[in-house]
Amino acid sequence: YIKEGSTVSVMGIVRRHDNVLMIVPSTEPVSTGCRWKSCLLPTTVHGLILTCDENLSTEVIAV
């Protein structure tokens, strides 16, 4: 759980599939480059709710 007003860093690529927004983790432990079209630097999002079903694959986190 994330408290209101907390700061959270999310590492991964944001993808949309069937009207579901997902954060897909990088396949590399440390990024060796940046895909500028996929980046939002820096950004502030108000009202973002992150949920995760424990039965889902650990490689894809539904948002």
Angle at 43 between CA 24 and CA 57, to 5 degrees: 15
24 vs 11, 20, 31, 54, CA distance in Å? 8, 12, 13, 16
What is the secondary structure of 42-58 as a DSSP string?
S---SS------TTS-T
- Residue tagged 């590399």 (tokens): 28
Dihedral angle of Cα 61, 6, 10, 40, to the nearest 10 degrees: 120
The two structure tokens encoding residue 8:
């959270």
Residue 55 pLDDT: 62
Instruction: Give me the residue spans of the domains in the chain.
Output: 1-63
pLDDT of the chain along its 63 residues, tens only? 556 677 766 667 777 777 777 777 766 655 555 555 555 555 565 555 555 556 655 555 444
